C-alpha cells in the first residue's frame, strides 16, 4: 500500500478540497463575476414607473381602490351565489332533512 505519508496526503485532500471549493465558489467575487448578471437575464426587475408627482400618486391610488372594489364585488357576488345554492335543498338534502 501507500504508507502513512499517502494517508496524510489523502486526509489533507479530503478535508481541504471541500473547504477550498466553498471559499472559491461561495465568495463574493465569484458571485459578482458569474451569477449576478445571470439573475437579471432570467429575473429582470419589473419596469414599473413609480409615480412621484402628487397627481400621479392620487391617480395610482384611485386605480388601486377601483381594482379592490371590483374584486370585492366579484367576491360578494360569488358568496351570495354560494349562499343561495346552500339554501335551496337538493335531492339528497331534502331526503335527510325530512327524516329528522
The number of helices, as runs of H, and strands, as runs of E, in the chain is 5, 0
Residue 93 has what pLDDT? 52
Q: Note whether 59 and 31 are same-domain residues.
A: no
Residue 78 has what pLDDT? 93
- DSSP letter at 48 equals P
Q: How many domains does the chain have?
A: 2
Give 34-82 pLDDT, tens digit per residue.
887 777 777 777 788 888 899 999 999 999 999 999 999 999 999 999 9
Q: Note whether 56 and 23 are same-domain residues.
A: no
Q: Highest mean pLDDT: which of 2-6, 76-80, 81-85?
A: 76-80
Q: Note whether 62 and 84 are same-domain residues.
A: yes
Average pLDDT of every residue of the chain: 84
How many Å is the maximal CA-CA distance in the chain? 90
Q: Note whether 68 and 95 are same-domain residues.
A: yes
Residue 17 lies in domain: 1-46
Q: Note whether 21 and 1 are same-domain residues.
A: yes
Report residue 44 as a C-alpha cell: 429582470
Q: Note whether 12 and 30 are same-domain residues.
A: yes
Amino acid at each position: 500500500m501507500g504508507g502513512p505519508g499517502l494517508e496524510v496526503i489523502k486526509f489533507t485532500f479530503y478535508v481541504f478540497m471541500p473547504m477550498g471549493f466553498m471559499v472559491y465558489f461561495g465568495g463574493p467575487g465569484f458571485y459578482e463575476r458569474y451569477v449576478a448578471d445571470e439573475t437579471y437575464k432570467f429575473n429582470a426587475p419589473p419596469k414599473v414607473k413609480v409615480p412621484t408627482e402628487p397627481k400621479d400618486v392620487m391617480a395610482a391610488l384611485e386605480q388601486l381602490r377601483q381594482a379592490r372594489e371590483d374584486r370585492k364585488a366579484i367576491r360578494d357576488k360569488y358568496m351570495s351565489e354560494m349562499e343561495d345554492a346552500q339554501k335551496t335543498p337538493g335531492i339528497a338534502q331534502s331526503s335527510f332533512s325530512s327524516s329528522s
